[in-house]
Amino acid sequence: MSVTKSKIDQTNTAASQACWSCQAPATGAHFCPACGKIQPLPAGADYFAFFGLPQKLTIDAGTLESQFHKLSWKLHPDNFVRASQFERTLSLERSSQLNDAYRALRDPIARVEYLLLHLGLRKEGTTKQQPPPELLEEVFELNESLDELREARADGGDVASLRRSLAAAQANFQEKLEEVDAELATVCREWDIALDKHADDAPVDEAQRKVLLARMNEVLNRRSYIRNLVASVASELAEA
């Protein structure tokens, strides 16, 4: 392990206690409020905290973008070319996490997925690809229609009527996708309201918190499945 990497690891451990340079109390900010030196990433910090935000799922896009550009300039490695190797490394780390954080938080769906990932309730790149019970019959009929279209395309059969049927099914599932997005937005609002109550020093309702997170996860799984259906139909229609 290099000296710089070792120093960063040691400083990360104590990041919540003191600035690595002047030993002033650290606040988790990007720069020490006392000496102005860039600080290591606090252990366990999330992307919301990186932008100085609570874990709320309603974020003003313009404000987030403005903060992103402001931090991009402040943390850019070009500002540390004459600094120590340790500070240059910190700049690279901060800049890299800034880009990751912005990508995760600027999109409402990715924002929810990130929150669940950060809380250990979801694994990156894995979603349950099982049809929602209420859609089993429609999904079965859709898969039959897709098989018929593939066969008709291969055998030179009547593709036109099958395309019309699939286009109607695609519109139906697109509508369901919009309904799921509206449901997710509702759960997100409920989550934000719960956080606002906590901000007012009200006791955290752990049961409510778990229920809301579980609902987010379930809705995201449903959304992923329906979105893949819509994309699959669109692909087949494009080839037909």
Asked if residue 219 and residue 151 are part of one domain, the reply reads yes
Model pLDDT, residue 10: 45
- Say which residue, 103 or 138, is predicted with more confidence: 103
Alpha carbon distances (Å) from 230 to 102, 175, 177, 219, 234 = 27, 10, 9, 16, 6
State the pTM of this model.
Answer: 0.84
Give percent above pLDDT 70 in the chain.
88
Please tell me the distance from the alpha carbon of residue 13 to that of residue 1, in angstroms, as a whole number: 16
Asked if residue 97 and residue 138 are part of one domain, the reply reads no
- Say which residue, 42 or 51, is predicted with more confidence: 51
Please tell me the distance from the alpha carbon of residue 144 to that of residue 137, in angstroms, as a whole number: 11
CATH number for position 102: 1.10.287.110
**Residue 34 domain boundaries:** 3-106
Domain count, the chain: 2
Q: How many CB atoms lie within 10 A of CB 102?
A: 20
Residue 126 — pLDDT band, cuts 50, 70, 90?
A: low
Per residue in 62-80, pLDDT (tens digit) is 999 999 999 999 999 999 9
Please tell me the distance from the alpha carbon of residue 84 to that of residue 89, in angstroms, as a whole number: 9
In a domain, 113, yes or no: no
Asked if residue 226 and residue 149 are part of one domain, the reply reads yes
Per residue in 177-230, pLDDT (tens digit) is 999 999 999 999 999 999 888 766 566 688 999 999 999 999 999 999 999 999
**Which tokens go with 218?**
């379930």
Model pLDDT, residue 2: 44
**If you average pLDDT over every residue of the chain, what do you get?**
87
In a domain, 223, yes or no: yes
In a domain, 30, yes or no: yes
Asked if residue 217 and residue 154 are part of one domain, the reply reads yes
In a domain, 87, yes or no: yes
Asked if residue 138 and residue 234 are part of one domain, the reply reads yes
In a domain, 119, yes or no: no
Asked if residue 223 and residue 150 are part of one domain, the reply reads yes
Asked if residue 164 and residue 88 are part of one domain, the reply reads no
In a domain, 14, yes or no: yes
In a domain, 116, yes or no: no
In a domain, 151, yes or no: yes
Asked if residue 235 and residue 137 are part of one domain, the reply reads yes
